[in-house]
Amino acid sequence: MVWVVYGLPMVHPNSTLVVTINGTGTAIEIVYLTLFLIYCHDKKKRVKVMLIVLVEMIFIAGVTALVLIIAHTTQRRSMVVGIIAILFNIMMYAAPLSVMKLVITTKSVEYMPFFLSLASFANGVAWTAYAFLPFDPFI
């Protein structure tokens, strides 16, 4: 969702593709979470997911409000939101590394989902290629 904020015209002008792609991803994630909440029978898990989503929404709203109020130019807004987005991307790509330790320790790829690895790699390649088209250092 940070990338959706980054692509907003008042933060980073001319980023229609960034908003479209990440907005679509956010919509798909909302559908996924809705289905999870409907079909999850464990009340504790549902409450935990709802709390995480609430914290994320508050964080995104706070970042958006602070950036729009404090940073007065699109360059500054792009810089702040871009750095935050990069930090979240680093966490996203680093999270599966805990599984890599297990794969190396057990010498088995049983715990490493192939299609998730392939999709993450393809996603990284696609965004890297896109970053060089208009040369946006944050993407």
Domain extent, residue 108, equals 96-139
Do 63 and 125 fall into the same domain?
no
Look at phi and psi of residue 135 and say left if phi exceeds 0, alpha if psi is from -120 to 50, else beta: left
Do 66 and 128 fall into the same domain?
no
pTM of the model: 0.79
pLDDT tens-digit profile, the chain (139 residues):
899 999 898 988 888 888 998 999 999 999 999 999 999 999 999 999 999 999 999 999 999 999 999 998 989 999 999 999 999 989 988 888 888 888 888 888 888 888 888 988 898 898 888 878 776 667 6
3-class secondary structure, 52:
helix
**Number of domains comprising the chain:** 2
Q: Which residue has the tokens 């320790």?
A: 105
Burial class, 77, CB count within 10 angstroms (exposed 0-12 / middle 13-18 / buried 19+): buried
Residue 139 confidence (pLDDT)? 66
By the 8 A CB rule, do 17 and 100 touch?
A: no
Do 72 and 114 fall into the same domain?
no
Do 7 and 45 fall into the same domain?
yes
Structure tokens at 83: 């750095």
Measure the CA–CA gap between 44 and 92, rounded to whole angstroms.
24
Residue 116 confidence (pLDDT)? 84
Do 54 and 115 fall into the same domain?
no
Do 134 and 106 fall into the same domain?
yes
Do 40 and 105 fall into the same domain?
no
